[in-house]
Amino acid sequence: MRALRFPLDQLLKDSSAFVWTRECQQAFEKFKKILSSELLLAHYDPKQEIIVSADASSVGIGETISHKYPNGHVASHASRALTLVEQRYSQIAREGLAIIYAVTKFHKFIFGRRFRLQTDHAPLLRIFGSKKGIPIYTANRLQQWVLSLLSYDFSIEYIQSDKFGNADVLSRLIDQHTKPDEDVIIACTTLEEDLRSVAIDSTNQLPLSFSMVEKATACDPLLRKVHRFIREGWPKSRSEVKDWEMYRFFDRQEALSVVQGSIMFGDRLVIPTAFRRRCLNQLHRGHPGIQRMKAISRSFVYWPGLDEEIVSFVKGCHHCASVARSPPKAEPESWHSTTAPWQRVHADYAGPLDGEYYLLVIDAHTKWPEIFPTKQITSKATINLMRTLFANKGMPEILVTDNGTQFKSAEFSEFCCENGIRHTTTAPFHPQSNGQAERFVDTFKKFRREKAR
């Protein structure tokens, strides 16, 4: 087809004079014969199942509309070359453009009717065919096209490239001088300017310019690979990607696009390695904290591991550390339950109350309290009181106290060792560890105050 129409295409070039030659007439006659052939196109029948196929190459887009006949004849087809702006689109964006061009070209055939949309680019099924709405991280250009497709009633399916010949051949047999309609060129240019303005707005919030990011992107080895994958297509599987940073980009390929040499992740600018530290310094102005820094960054910039770098950056800031809250306390752990009385007892002193101290001893199993008033709280006095108690109740297996001097003395330790008592003290400055005794001390004090009234 391309060779057949070559003489006619020469007439459309600006540098050639319009001269109708014998070759032009022969090509014209052959075209009339082919276009009038019954083998070329089938009659459009709205009662039959409608199938719209769309495909894109690096130079053009092609689409067909057909019915599900045994011979698979096409009812109509269309194709056009890509503009210079469109040729810079990512592969997923070019495939999306082919679908938009197809539904627009065949609008009169499909509007108000259910049809099947076919593509050989699987990621578009998750964007154009999702029943949960537009994915959050989707390139702006694709988001606009998804909204355009809401006017149509269709189901989308994936067709392997080797079985997608009709649309595929139309997208590739495009001569360079074939031009789309003027309104298409204007729309593409306007959309590209809109995306560029989004990228520039991102740099306006940073100590960078758009041209600086563009030049640094071209010098960054990782981003050069990403740029090439966006333009030419990504690897088929994740196993073909070696670099862990490239893993992040591979998983987000549907949201990546190229705008005048810079890479966009949705409406966020991908920052090259050379400028990432500078961006972190700018985001940290005013010391907003980890969560606020993350929220600000998600409005303007992106690179793999951004959240982890923000956490590390804030934790390394001396000013932020000086005003940070204390780390959360560990979850309290309860004492093990006892199986018999006097297996574990808790002891503590209360007072002074009216000039007297009170030694309180509580059994962990029965909650039975023993109370001993005393004028002295020395180790010797404490040992005498406990010797009297243990002679009556028996020796406990475990004795739990705080870190009072009377309980930490060598004399008290010797007393426990001689009687086979395992003495356990609570953590310093953490009275909750001896909660059984502390709680009863509080209860005892309340009782004394009520009695005094």
The answer to whether 145 and 96 have CB atoms below 8 angstroms apart is yes
Residue 186 has pLDDT above 50, yes or no: no
Helix ranges (DSSP H) in 72-181: 84-87, 91-105, 107-110, 123-128, 140-149, 165-172
pLDDT number for residue 196 = 53
Which residues are CB-contacts of 306 (< 8 A; sequence separation ≥ 6)? Answer: 297
Q: Which residue has the higher pLDDT, 39 or 190?
A: 39
Structure tokens that stand for 25 in this block: 């007439």
What is the H or E stretch that residue 413 is in? helix 410-418
Domain 41-172, CATH among 3.10.129.10, 1.20.1250.20, 3.30.420.10, 3.30.980.10: 3.30.420.10
Q: How large is the average pLDDT for residues 380-389?
A: 87
Residue 177 has pLDDT above 60, yes or no: no
Q: What confidence tier does 176 reach under pLDDT thresholds 50, 70, 90?
A: very low
Least confident of 132-141, 169-178, 275-284, 428-437: 169-178
Sequence spans of domains, the chain: 41-172, 195-317, 344-452
DSSP secondary structure letter of residue 58: S
Are 41-172 and 344-452 equal in CATH topology?
yes
Q: Mean pLDDT score of the chain, rounded to an integer? A: 78
Specify the CATH architecture of the domain 344-452. 2-Layer Sandwich (3.30)
Q: Which residue has the higher pLDDT, 136 or 417?
A: 417
Percentage of the chain with pLDDT > 90?
Answer: 0
200-256 per-position pLDDT tens digit: 555 555 667 778 888 888 888 888 888 888 877 778 777 777 777 788 888 877 778
pLDDT number for residue 171 = 57
- HSE-CB of 413 using CA atoms within 13 angstroms: 8
Residue 3 has pLDDT above 70, yes or no: no
pLDDT number for residue 56 = 83
111-126 per-position pLDDT tens digit: 888 998 888 887 787 7
Residue 194 has pLDDT above 60, yes or no: no
The residue length of the chain stands at 453
Q: What confidence tier does 185 reach under pLDDT thresholds 50, 70, 90?
A: very low
Task: Indicate the burial class of 31 (C-beta count within 10 angstroms; 0-12, 13-18, 19 or more).
Answer: middle
Residue 178 has pLDDT above 60, yes or no: no
Phi/psi for 427 (5° steps) reads -65, 140
305-331 per-position pLDDT tens digit: 888 999 988 888 888 877 776 666 667
Report d(CA 97, CA 170) in Å as an integer. Answer: 14
What is the H or E stretch that residue 371 is in? strand 369-374
Q: How large is the average pLDDT for residues 54-66?
A: 83
DSSP secondary structure letter of residue 428: T
Residue 229 to residues 56, 190, 236, 256, 310, Cα–Cα distance (Å): 16, 25, 11, 10, 28
The answer to whether 288 and 324 have CB atoms below 8 angstroms apart is no
257-295 per-position pLDDT tens digit: 787 788 888 778 888 888 888 888 888 888 888 888 888
Residue 94 has pLDDT above 60, yes or no: yes
Can the peptide bond before residue 396 be classed as cis, meaning omega within 30 degrees of 0?
no
Helix ranges (DSSP H) in 205-286: 210-219, 221-232, 244-251, 276-283
DSSP strands (E only) in 17-143: 50-56, 60-67, 74-81, 114-119
pLDDT number for residue 61 = 83
pLDDT number for residue 217 = 87
